[in-house]
Structure 1
Amino acid sequence: MTLRDVLVRLDVRDLLPGRDDYDLRPRAIGADLLAGLTVGVVALPLALAFGVSSGVGPAAGLVTAVLAGVVAAVFGGSRFQVSGPTGAMAVVLAPVVAAYGLPSVALVTMLGGLIVLAAGLLRLGRVVTFIPWPVVEGFTLGIAAIIFLQQVPAAIGQAATVGGNTLVTAARAVADAAGALDALALDATTLWSLATVALVAALMLVLPRLHAAIPASLVAVVAATVLAEVTRAPVARIGTLPDGLPVPALPGVSTTGLGDLLGAAIAIAALAAIESLLSARVAASMVPGGSVYHPDRELVGQGLASLASGLFGGMPATGAIARTAVNVRSGARTRLAAVVHALVILAVIYLATGPVSRIPLAALAGVLMVTAFRMIGAGTIRAVLRSTRSDAATFVVTAVITVAFDLVEAVQIGLVVAAFFALRRVARASSVHREPLPGVAHEGDEHIALFRLDGAMFFGASDRILTEVTDTSVRENVLVVILRLSQLGMVDATGARALAELVGALEQRGITVLVKGVQPRHRKLMTTVGVLDELRHESHLFLTLDDAVAHARSHARRADEGTDVPQLDGRR
């Protein structure tokens, strides 16, 4: 039995590659080849830069761009997604490298890939839609800030503290450079590094305005490298690169190492899933007329991509929004474009490692600094901050925690903050209203209270509603309470239990409770937690308001007359 047969038995046929993934007409193939070449040129300096930034090294960035790029393109769920190393993943991976060393990268990469693959097989692709917009934008802003701050030491020719907080490390590097400037001892390395960053940034900002098709980042890096070579500038270079792909090897696994890295692997998997699915969604929205992507298959593809990358000594991979956008704008038709992009980088590995090894690190720092600025959409930030105070607070909290503490904690805390504000809004929208009895007034109506419950009866609002109904009923000497539940949109176990306690408390005070309009979808829960059992009689459950009011008036009249209220058999 082949692997495909096993997968088919598991009913995952929609997660497998098919002939429909490609358009083999000459015109479509030509468009994909051109788009892939364009993306490959754009991705090359980014792959190098993110490899260096993560602490794994430029070679790992290239390996990831090649292997993950091909595997994710073939097995992923988007026709336009371009995968490889990204800034967010570099930010997550850097502290792992600092804490556990380079040998841990392959293991944590493959563990993360297995988790993402499992998430795809378990059909968890739609989960990303539950992440609120302010959390996503706050996370993006924080990532952009970290990417920029990570490049500060290289940009000013200072050594970075390995494993330290990014903000603190950048501040120390600036302080050291400022001290040297005050002492008029700013060395040539710092001056040349700053000049290189300025040149790269200027070219990346100016060239696209001259012509949109110019690969600005690549031209900028080539220009900075040529200038550094001609002038023999004293700047740090990338250094020796392998002239081919490394031999695949399984990482060593120990019980202790596996336990230590599991938390990091979960964080990497969460980031890979979120970033890849968001990128695929953005790509689908960029295509004229829209496009369809398969979120579960995308997770399967990204999981397999990280497994392949880790096997060859690469780093975790995700869908890259910037490169995917370039792919779409370059006219890509199918997955072939992403495969070609990877082959372009593969050609560089085998044919041009010598020139690439001479690239100044400051040039890559300049590329990432500009990339970080482009990740920040001023219009988007203004829109979030002007939306609501709760969304603005969620956005700011997520961004600050991302920069100051930890990326995964930032998403977790951002979700908690967003959930808190959402629950508070739902709780405020959940209310109880005292309504007048319908029709002509009858004698004794003053002893009947009709309450309509709106919104949601859940743990955030149940106590307030219970208190309000009880206090009003006791204060006004009510004999019969009608609870109108037909307007309740949602009831959870806490809310249902609160209703049971409300009915029981009122009945113990001698107040008859009638319930009207229990929705069929809520009836099972209310029966389970005992709401209906607390009623004095099963006939006190009504489908129509008129029947409930007539029965309440009968109770009130008999109570005023001091006679017993007869119990009825059956339900109305």
Structure 2
Amino acid sequence: MSAAAVLRGLLPGRADYADVPRTWRADLVAGATVGIVALPLALAFGISSGAGAAAGLVTAVVAGIVAAVFGGSNVQVSGPTGAMAVVLVPIVGEHGVGALAIVGILAGLLLVVAGVLRLGQLIGLVPWPVIAGFTAGIGVIIFLQQVPLVLGPSASAGTRPVLAAFSAATHADWSAAVWPLAAVAAVVLLMLLLPRIDERIPASLLAIVLVTIVAEVLDLPLARIGEIPSSLPMPSLPSVDPAVLQTLLTAAVAVAALSAIESLLSARVAVDLSGDARHNPDRELVGQGMACLASGAFGGIPATGAIARTAVNVKAGGRTRLAAISHSLVLLGVIYLASGPVSRIPTAALAAVLMLTAVRMIPYREIRTILRATRSDAAVLLLTMGVTVLVDLIEAVQLGIAVAAVFALRAVARTSGVRREEIDSDPDPADARIAVYRLTGSMFFGAAERVRAEVRADGDVEVVILAFSQLRTLDATGANTLAEIIRSLEKQGVTVLVKGVPSRHMALLRSVGVIEALRDPRHLFDRFPDALEHARSHVRRAEAARRTRATVAPA
């Protein structure tokens, strides 16, 4: 495929909206539904990130539209998410809210480059236990982040969620915390009960509205969101301090990695939910990159694909990009028409929404399944979850993938190696001096030393046959080890014959020197009977030579 064709596949086209004339009514209804669900989440995630409610709302509008137009999924909904908020908290604590625009723009550029380089397929390399542990860890962090918002006082910026929640619980003024706790209990109770009456009720939004009305009528002592803009800010490029640019670039890499992982996972879930397989992961990276760029320019925070909002979109009937676009337009209407009432929402009510969201996002069934699977999978899940909660999200994914890879290599190494076989043919006296070793599985760095230790010429063995026909994969370390084994045996006076080399391995064996290490290039065979016959004839000739030398030896 030409470069021009690749680039065309990463850009919007008329085909993206081919189904709109048929589905526009359902798309608009779905968009309005998602917008209602997204409003409290956008406000809450904005506050949770440290950037403020207004930043979350702006992100949902700007990034939501841009990702819908440029992204690789027809039904994905993007915006601020809990995972991204978790990553942004330490950035705000170290560099201030103003740094988020720079981080978002840098992360957006990285995502666009990753999409152009067609790195979207790499999401398939993330193991299931890592994804489950990562998701569960994020859920725990989101819950812990809300504890200081409810109990107060808030910890200093950048404090780890576990420590911040513990500090808030141990230093709380419980007499003053009665009303925030009551607001949390009311919102959670309403969110649990309202869907039982009618699943179509936007439970989180209605719960927040009711609690806000009660708080205003009774003038309850609850902290409010505060003023939010009544219009979108004008886009602008942030000023960059070269002294901190390198540090911010490191943060941008983490943000880009998280945005890529979460967006591609969300898009994959969308395919399963909608049954629409038209998804381009590389274009998804470009779309999320453009969304982060636009969000940063408008003063928002970096965005990702949102699994929960995407699921709501599909279940509500959304089938084209019009649904995700209209969800952002609904939120835009809130900014221009309802900024005053929104500013009076109690922060405890938003914290309650996030607490319940966090509890629901933990994949309990997947965790149980993985814990009952293998010990290595269980270890990867628990390690990823623990590092996510206690250390860092990106480091958790990196460490989880690394540990999973180690376990996988160990499993491959255990099923790979070499075994000595008996000669299964008509008996021949020469067979006592012939050893047959069959290489199986993968001859790679993880199994090379074990093969080296097991291939040997004991006793009177004069010929070793190495059978390669069951060797599936081979790397440079494995090939080099084979060359060293052959050289060592040949130095001992043992003739080595190689049988059944798969054609795909021949170039590597020649380049590393395996074939060159053989005493004679003709010691390479395609069939085992030919190799065995040559080995037997070699043993007979050697035996005849020994008898001749014994006969002519002086008395």
Looking at structure 1, the residues matched to 158 and 11 of structure 2 have their Cα atoms a distance apart, in angstroms, of: 40
The corresponding residue for 1:121 is: 116
Do 1:433 and 1:451's aligned partners in 2 also have CA atoms closer than 8 Å? Answer: yes
1:26 to partner: Cα distance: 4.8
Q: Which moved more, 1:255-264 or 1:362-371?
A: 255-264
Amino acid at match of 1:341: H
- Determine the structure 1 residue equivalent to 2:244: 257
Q: Secondary structure at the match of 1:439?
A: coil
Counterparts of residues 379-458 of structure 1 (less than 5 Å): 379-458=365-444
Residue aligning to 2:345? 359
Q: Which residue of 2 aligns with 1:172?
A: 167
Q: Distance in 1 between matches of 2:400 and 2:203?
A: 35
Inter-partner Cα distance in structure 1 for 2:213 and 2:66: 34
Aligned to 1:314: 300
RMSD (CA atoms): 1.5
- Aligned mate of 2:495, from 512, 524, 544: 512
Question: In structure 1, what residue type is equivalent to 2:403?
Answer: V
SS of the aligned residue for 1:483 comes to strand
Residue 479 of structure 2 aligns with which residue? 496
Asked if structure 2 preserves the Cα contact closer than 8 Å seen for 1:452 and 1:487, the reply is yes
**Aligned-partner residue type, residue 235 of structure 1:** L
> 1:55 is matched with which residue?
50
Q: Does 1:531 align with 2:519?
A: no
Distance 1:8 1:561, change over 3 A: closer
In the superposition, relative to structure 1, how do residues 25 and 96 fare at CA in structure 2: closer, same or farther (>3 Å)?
Answer: closer
**Could you say which residue in structure 1 is the equivalent of 2:12?**
17
State the shift of 1:292 in Å. 2.2
Shift of 1:128: 0.5
1:295-310 alignment, distance < 5 Å: 295-310=281-296
CA positional deviation for 1:8: 7.5
Equivalent in 66, 76, 79 of residue 81 of structure 1: 76
Q: Residue deviations 1:429-449, cap 9 Å, x none?
A: 002121122320111201101
Which deviates more, 247-256 or 512-521? 247-256
Letter in 2 for 1:319: G
Q: Trace 1:181-330 onto structure 2 (pairs within 5 A).
A: 186-188=174-176, 190-287=177-274, 289-330=275-316
1:31 aligned residue: 26
Find the aligned partners of 2:370 and 2:293 in 1 and give their Cα distance. 37
Give secondary structure in 2 for the equivalent of 1:434: strand
1:562 pairs with 2:545: yes
Match of 2:553 in 1: none
Q: TM-score when scaled to structure 1? A: 0.94
The 1:250–1:352 alpha-carbon spacing in structure 2 relative to 1, beyond 3 Å, is same
* Alpha-carbon distance in 2 for matches of 1:367, 1:11: 42
**Residue 109 in 1 paired to residue 92 in 2?**
no
- Confirm whether residue 130 of structure 1 aligns to residue 147 of structure 2: no
* Alpha-carbon spacing, 1:43–1:564, altered in 2? closer, same or farther (3 Å): farther
Per the alignment, in what secondary structure is the counterpart of residue 88 of structure 2? helix
- Give, in whole Å, the separation in 2 of the partners of 1:309 and 1:564: 89
1:482 aligns with 2:469: no
Match of 1:568 in 2: none
**Cα distance in structure 1, aligned partners of 2:370 and 2:377:** 7
Q: What amino acid sits opposite 2:175 in the alignment?
A: D
| Number of residue-to-residue matches in the alignment | 547
Q: Which amino acid aligns with 2:80?
A: P
Inter-CA distance 336–552: structure 2 relative to 1 (3 Å threshold): same
1:77–1:25 Cα change, 3 Å: closer
SS in 2 for 1:487: strand
Q: In the TM superposition, what is the alpha-carbon distance from 1:260 to its structure 2 partner?
A: 1.1
CA shift digits 1:436-478 (9 cap, x unpaired) = 22320111201101111100000000100111112xx23x331
Counterpart Cα distance in 2 of 1:23 and 1:217: 34
2:450 partner amino acid: R
1:569 match: none
Return closer, same or farther for 1:512/1:80 CA change in 2, 3 Å cut-off: same
The corresponding residue for 1:460 is: 446
**Contact 1:23/1:333 (CA < 8 Å) preserved in 2?**
no
Q: Report the Cα distance in structure 1 between the residues aligned to 2:6 and 2:255, rounded to whole angstroms.
A: 28
Counterpart for residue 570 of structure 1: none
CA drift of 1:559 comes to 1.8
Q: Which amino acid aligns with 1:210?
A: I
Q: For 1:52 and 1:76, locate their aligned partners in 2 and report how far apart those are by CA, in whole Å.
A: 26
| Number of the residue aligned with 2:536 | 553
* 1:93-129 Cα deviation digits (max 9, x unpaired): 0100000111111000000011011100110000000
Deviations 1:294-326 (A, max 9, x none): 101111100000000001110001000000000
Pairwise CA distance, 1:144: 0.4
Contact 1:154 1:160 in 2 (8 A): no
What is the letter of the counterpart of residue 297 of structure 1?
R
| 1:3 alignment partner in structure 2 | none
Identify the residue that residue 318 of structure 2 maps to in structure 1.
332
Quote the residue 1:183 is aligned against: none
CA distance in 2, matches of 1:11, 1:379: 39
CA contact (8 A) 2:79 2:305 kept: yes
Q: Partners of 1:564 and 1:225 in 2: how far apart? A: 106
Contact 2:132/2:363 (8 A) holds in 1 = no
Q: Distance in 2 between matches of 1:430 and 1:197?
A: 56
Measured after TM superposition, the shift of residue 377 of structure 1 is 2.3
- One-letter identity of the residue aligned with 1:144: G
CA contact (8 A) 1:23 1:29 kept: no
Residue identity opposite 1:291 in structure 2: A
CA separation of 1:440 and 1:34: change in aligned 2, threshold 3 A: same
Question: 2:413 corresponds to which letter in structure 1?
Answer: A
Q: Which amino acid in 2 is paired with 1:494?
A: T
The question of whether the paired residues in 2 share the 8 Å contact of 1:157 and 1:193 is answered with: no
**Residues 10 and 291 (structure 1), Cα distance of their counterparts in 2 relative to 1, 3 Å cut:** closer
* Residues 564, 150 of structure 1: alpha-carbon distance in 2 compared, 3 angstrom cutoff: farther
Give the structure 1 partner of residue 552 of structure 2.
Answer: none
Is contact 1:558-1:564 (8 Å) kept? no
Distance 2:306 2:17 in 1: 21
Structure 2, unaligned runs of 5 or more = 549-555
* Structure 2 counterpart SS, 1:348: helix
Letter in 2 for 1:394: V
Secondary structure at the counterpart of residue 398 of structure 2: helix
Q: Whole-Å Cα distance in 2 between the matches of residues 519 and 26 of structure 1?
A: 55
SS at match of 1:281: helix
Greater CA deviation, 376-385 or 413-422? 376-385
2:445 aligned counterpart, secondary structure? coil
Tell me, in whole angstroms, the C-alpha distance in 1 between the residues paired with 2:537 and 2:336.
93
Question: Measured at CA, do residues 159 and 447 of structure 1 come closer, stay the same or move farther in structure 2, by a change above 3 Å?
Answer: same
* 2:327 aligns with one of 318, 322, 341: 341
Report if aligned partners of 1:50, 1:58 keep a CA contact under 8 Å in 2: yes
CA distance in 2, matches of 1:24, 1:88: 32
**Partner of residue 355 from structure 2, selected from 344, 366, 369:** 369
Q: Which amino acid aligns with 2:320?
A: T
* Secondary structure at the counterpart of residue 496 of structure 2: strand
Tell me which moved more, 245-254 or 346-355. Answer: 245-254
